[in-house]
Structure 1
């Protein structure tokens, strides 16, 4: 009996040891696979970014060349139809260099792009000057600038800078590709080890499936939440706004009180975005979203519905005077940001419907229309005509 017990005990210890080894191997393989997988995905994303940057670089150079072609055609013929590719090339070049600056992630690339941007500015200044002189009738002066080779020198620097930048991107892409191949091979070995570990843990399959199922459910819920959120500010997006308005309309408590919509447009945003860059513009939008949340009440809904457009849904505001105070607080809060971002303000359109069966689309459309009235008046707020119409800039 003792021998049997000792045999069972020994077998139990052996089994535990085997399971421990299998679990350890499985854990190591899983961690290695996950680490390699994340690294490979990162390399692939980097390759995609590099490909996009190279495409944008080519677009930038082509746009400058188009602008130069239009300028030369105008100087040779005096026909302003050649200015169409000139202006279009300038527009595309400005957009391309902005996209490039937003796309890079290293200080060296950023510095290279700043140099390219300076060379591009020098070239465009030369083109602008010659076009202006030609339009003013100073043909020989315009040709003298062209013959001075200043434009050629800036164009040569631009081509050289873009060439070096693209070469650096190509080198990064090649390194990432080599790294991806090496990691994929390492992942294959880790996957073989993982399969060996799984073979020893078949007894735990049911438990693992249950955990995996729970993970899928959590992931699905997280994806559903993400689909209803603005990725930049974390505020509800237009889709979530519509969903919440429908829920608010169906709420019995809402039928007893009015529902007010404030359609808000951020004045001065485009100028800040164009002058200081998208990163500063994004920071401004995040700051505005935090300001709106600070001013509104706990039960109010703040959503971002467009680039620089926000909506506030405020149930239960009793009178236009109360709404005016809310608008004043919103504008005062945003004015604080002017010290950091320059001239920013709000144009606010206000519309109200009774809570009993209000129509969300109609409410938002009226607020939107009122906002455009406020914007045409230089900012401030404007009430929909059905709300004892009033405005303030």
Structure 2
């Protein structure tokens, strides 16, 4: 089933210039999102973005201009993504593509959008390939790169356990390879001596028990598990059943949901380390934070029938805030060229749900908007941030 959402918004102080592909006093923003199919839960992101832009309209817009936001269902299917993206570019003549979700889906239109010189902005995937200004100058990621996150974990190991013996378990695909690449890069010349065991598993593997047994026998006291979904639960439970108690046990942010920890037993996940750059909207410590209060106020007014505790709505709210800031920065000139100029010159931009001290900065040769994270440790019930802000600092 196809979902097409089109909204006209009082816009952001901009005209739809000729190279914006509209020719009228409106700005067209395109997006593909899985409103159906196996990843349909993420459709909440697009719905929150739609509602946020609706809020901008309700507040009178910016400069009295209009935005037409067109978000189409791709079912998380790359061929469908191609079809819908071509429609948005060639028929709707959108100014830019914003916040489309998925690695394989975005990859299917990566070369096409760059050949057409259509901005492919704030891609919702942590693959490092989205930040390649030399080969793909029209594409920019919208979340922390997996490689950056891996590098930050390695920096913590070097600082807190300089004599660590490290074991790595990773998914055998681009997701796993990106994390391991960043981790080894940050370890530098010490990677060869500190990493004592390394193995992978296939995304179709029924279990990872044999890999865990092999890693334990290496005598490693630090475990970095680049896992997803059910393998998160299998790894945490498997390590506990082996009686293995590594001093540091890392999980990627993408595997840190409580829903992945619960099947393994929350007690087994105690002291596991992950990371985040966002305030946890459910954590009492942020209950009086203005950014969090504004988010819940937004949900109550503009999405009253939806669950504000769903983190995907918070993600959409945050991304739409970033898009709005970018379009405001374009001022009266909003062409594809000017959009990219502004997207690559963001300076310490604050967003409402980013942790204090974390900002968005980009440059002509630095296409990574999000490079800062804080580590978080699971206490048996929830995640607690600790330590200072860590920055990959790698363009």
- Structure (1 or 2) with the larger CA radius of gyration: 1
TM-score range, shorter chain: under 0.3
More strand by share: 2
Question: 1 or 2 for the larger relative contact order (CA 8 Å, sep ≥6)?
Answer: 2
- TM-score, normalised to structure 1, is 0.20
